[in-house]
Amino acid sequence: MKITVFTSNKLRHISLINLLSEISEKVFAVVEEKPKKKNLHEYFKFVELAEKQSFKNKEIKSKNIEVINLRKNSINELKRNNIYRALKSDYYVVFGTSIIKGWLLDELIDNEALNVHLGVSPYYRGSACNFWSIYENNPHFTGASIQKLSSKVDDGEILYHAIPDIQKCNNTFDFSMRAVLAAQKTLVNKLKTKAIHKISFIPNDNKKIIRVCWRKDFNEKVANLFLKQNNFDNIKKLYFKKFEKRLFHNIEIH
């Protein structure tokens, strides 16, 4: 089995590359450099700490991984001959890149690429969805959606939802970061066991959208308010009050 993953270079992205290498003959990792955060320093200190606690491996180590490094925001400058070998895989996964467009998007859609969306579709789409679900008092919609890649952001058919086990979490940032871990562990297991072919997709229902999350809305003001009001005990109480399995598709809690 060969897998191509389009991803980035943070610890959580390296984790997915390494996990995929454990179940496949060959992994092609197209790694786009993540832009450095220019603001929200206080908020991202907590994010980075949670990431370091959840994802320990800082390096891509396996010999069966072929890495194609890209500078930040350059994925759409790729030519077919730059990655022609990576376009002959059995599975394609997209996680954490800038928005893919043009010929590459068409190619990936034709190959039924899976998008690992950190947010529970259809309720939350876009960027920093798990921040907004907690900020808007909907912590039960903190998780990930494994869905088909689509031409509209996070609009593809949904294969399943992966939700962090809040009982195992120590704080709000740990809770949000474990959504990434839940998505990765469950996806790798489903690919390994071929269970991925036994799950039905459902359409992404636009009528259920709570928020389309735009980068411009995630600013210093809302981040600081989040930090000020952050109380994990209250978040857990609200989670258990609102959580219902019927709101999710093929839910996996990890």
Residues 6+ apart with CB under 8 A from 159: 114, 146, 147, 148, 196, 199, 201, 249, 250
10 Å CB burial of residue 66 (0-12, 13-18, 19+) is: middle
What pLDDT, in 10s, does the model give residues 45-83?
A: 999 999 999 998 888 878 899 999 999 999 999 999 999
Q: How many CB atoms lie within 10 A of CB 71?
A: 10
User: What is the pLDDT, as a whole number, of residue 35?
Assistant: 83
What does pLDDT average to over the chain?
95
Task: Tell me whether the omega of the peptide bond preceding residue 122 falls within 30 degrees of 0, making it cis.
Answer: yes
Distance of CA 210 to the CA centre of its chain: 19
Beginning with the edge strand found earlier in the chain, give each strand of the sheet holding 158-163 in spatial order.
65-70, 26-32, 2-8, 91-94, 114-117, 144-148, 158-163, 252-253
233-253 average pLDDT score: 98
DSSP-derived 3-state class of residue 62: coil
Residue at 181: amino acid letter: L
Tokens coding 181 = 């871990």
Which residues of 141-222 form beta strands (DSSP E)? 144-148, 158-163, 211-213
What pLDDT, in 10s, does the model give residues 145-178?
A: 999 999 998 999 999 999 999 999 999 999 999 9
Q: Phi and psi for 148 in degrees, rounded to 5? A: -70, 140
Residues 154 and 120: beta-carbon distance below 8 Å: no
H-helix or E-strand spanning residue 133: helix 129-135
126-155 average pLDDT score: 96
Pairing between β-strand 91-94 and β-strand 114-117 as defined by DSSP bridges: parallel
pLDDT level of residue 36 (50, 70, 90 thresholds): confident
Quick one: which of 89, 253, 236, 135 has its CA closest to 183? 253
